[in-house]
Chain A
């Protein structure tokens, strides 16, 4: 079942954010969570044996999967990419400022300031 895959992926992402010590791995975990949610939304609209939701002369009867989750996922993907780019650019700045991405080393440098 696709549901299980997406919930396992969400679990992996949350595990990564809770246990990792590297800032870049946070971003990776975040992306995994985003992807998992997108897979979940797509799988909600899927109906076994139905067609792609496009009207044409080959599909006179509207025997479609639910198109709305797909439209939502498009928007969610765009937002996710935007957040990812913003996070990556912030990471570049963090690296320029502290010259490391490890949480503990940054904490030491912050405390020394």
Chain B
């Protein structure tokens, strides 16, 4: 049953290749079917593909972490599919393939299988990145992404040499400790490109600032969430916290350098792309504190960031000119940017507060310092852009479609709702954290009572 989550979108994608124009209408239906199917599956179930049991065959694992990540990613796809104007003809098929591969990436319990899904995700992402004739940016992304994929493959193969198995649970039990540094370094290089960690995130501004609303709206939210989940699964569940102190340093560097770079940008979309990198760095360093509260705060912040980033990217890429003729869209944009800065009553305030609390509890003062400093920079440039967009003298403003206005307004109201009653998002991130941290339960679920 679990395999249908991957099979249905993949099959539909290939069936609809002759009818490219119609794929637009099938996308929301498929995503809805996926979500309904997801609620009918039982949590903590393991499905062995082809009947080969856990250490030998490929397994699909549905525990509380992968269930809630699937839910979040599918809802993001649903939101994107409800704004068909931003999807060019034929790209709905790519969204279907992307949906299939992200679902597979979340569900899989096999490291080579995760490499395959990583490459499919990346291939779909390269093509989505080439929207609006941005071929050069997409090509750079392809080169960097493929090299990273090669390193990920090397890491997977080394873990096979170190254990004799490709199964996540088996690797976490049996990996020879002399292999750990190399394997985790290789896997981190592979994932750092997709999670946008700085030395390897040079492609992000070119790809996100292509002018197409779809590219950043899906790559910066759904795909980033999937990759962050995979990173947590590998480094927290499998390696059990090993190597996380290196990730912490990289996260901090990414946070501060990307915020400074965002401050210096002349284009709004580029500034938002760098802000996206910075938030990824913040989430990474919060997760790598490796306490229950810290991981919970990290994923909570990732959810808030994804909600705000959909609004920001979609509006920034569709609105030309000023907000005076598009007041509702302008208000949603301002709410989302205030949430990103972390003003009280908006959702971002809650998550930044939780991050500060959890890092103080851990006895770590470096992360709060860097976070507060970068928040000042963030506030400076986001307020600058808000002022510029509300008060410029551009007469060429055109109306934006009603469904974009409506959906961004609903998301903006959700941000305020989460800011006042954060229980909804907290429940999701608590469940993800439970699934990621409880590594003994993961191993027993996959390998059976051992």
Interface residues of chain A, those whose CB is within 8 Å of chain B, are 14, 17, 23, 26-27, 30, 33-34, 37, 40-41, 44, 68-69, 72, 75-76, 79, 82-83, 86-87, 90-91, 93-94, 97-98, 106, 110
Assess the B133–A97 pair: CB atoms within 8 A.
yes
Contact with A110, one of B126, B136, B153, B160 (Cβ below 8 angstroms): B136
Closest to B157 in A: A41
Q: How close is A7's CB to chain B, nearest CB, in angstroms?
A: 10
Tell me, yes or no, whether B16 is within 8 Å of chain A by CB. Answer: no
Chain A residues contacting B126 (CB-CB under 8 Å) are 86, 90
Q: How close is A101's CB to chain B, nearest CB, in angstroms?
A: 10
30 pairs, A vs B, C-beta closer than 8 Å? A17-B143, A26-B143, A27-B143, A33-B147, A33-B150, A34-B150, A37-B153, A37-B154, A40-B154, A40-B157, A41-B153, A44-B160, A68-B160, A72-B112, A76-B153, A79-B116, A79-B149, A83-B123, A83-B146, A86-B126, A86-B142, A87-B139, A87-B143, A90-B139, A91-B139, A93-B135, A94-B139, A97-B133, A97-B136, A98-B136
Closest to B130 in A: A90
In angstroms, Cα B135 to Cα A26, docked, is 15
Tell me, yes or no, whether B320 is within 8 Å of chain A by CB. Answer: no
Chain B residues contacting A33 (CB-CB under 8 Å) are 147, 150
Assess the B116–A87 pair: CB atoms within 8 A.
no
Tell me, yes or no, whether B1 is within 8 Å of chain A by CB. Answer: no
Which of B123, B136, B138, B161 counts the most A-chain CB atoms under 10 A from its CB? B136
Chain B residues contacting A26 (CB-CB under 8 Å) are 143
Q: How large is the interface on B (under 10, 10 to 19, 20 to 34, 35 or more residues)?
A: 20 to 34
In angstroms, Cα B138 to Cα A100, docked, is 16
In angstroms, Cα B53 to Cα A48, docked, is 30
1/0 contact trace for B332-370 toward A, CB 8 Å? 000000000000000000000000000000000000000
Assess the B157–A83 pair: CB atoms within 8 A.
no
Contact with B157, one of A27, A69, A87 (Cβ below 8 angstroms): A69
Assess the A30–B136 pair: CB atoms within 8 A.
no
Assess the A86–B157 pair: CB atoms within 8 A.
no
Closest to A68 in B: B160
In the A-B complex, the 7 residue pairs with the closest CB atoms: A93-B135, A94-B135, A90-B139, A79-B119, A83-B146, A26-B143, A87-B142
Which of B112, B119, B153 counts the most A-chain CB atoms under 10 A from its CB? B153
Assess the A93–B123 pair: CB atoms within 8 A.
no
Assess the B142–A83 pair: CB atoms within 8 A.
yes
Tell me, yes or no, whether B127 is within 8 Å of chain A by CB. Answer: yes
Chain A residues contacting B146 (CB-CB under 8 Å) are 30, 34, 83, 87
Assess the A90–B153 pair: CB atoms within 8 A.
no
In angstroms, Cα B143 to Cα A87, docked, is 8
Contact A17/B147 with A72-B112, A90-B139, A110-B136 known, Cβ cut-off 8 Å: yes
In angstroms, Cα B146 to Cα A98, docked, is 24
Q: How close is A106's CB to chain B, nearest CB, in angstroms?
A: 6
1/0 contact trace for B88-116 toward A, CB 8 Å? 00000000000000000000000010001
Q: How close is A97's CB to chain B, nearest CB, in angstroms?
A: 6
Chain B residues contacting A41 (CB-CB under 8 Å) are 153, 157
Q: How close is A45's CB to chain B, nearest CB, in angstroms?
A: 9
Contact A90/B157 with A37-B150, A83-B123, A98-B136 known, Cβ cut-off 8 Å: no
Closest to A37 in B: B150
Chain B residues contacting A83 (CB-CB under 8 Å) are 119, 123, 142, 146, 149
Contact A30/B154 with A82-B123, A90-B135, A94-B135 known, Cβ cut-off 8 Å: no
Chain B residues contacting A30 (CB-CB under 8 Å) are 143, 146-147
Closest to A91 in B: B139
Q: How close is B329's CB to chain A, nearest CB, in angstroms?
A: 27
Contact with B136, one of A44, A79, A86, A94 (Cβ below 8 angstroms): A94
Chain A residues contacting B149 (CB-CB under 8 Å) are 79, 83
Closest to A96 in B: B135
In angstroms, Cα B153 to Cα A44, docked, is 13
In angstroms, Cα B161 to Cα A72, docked, is 13
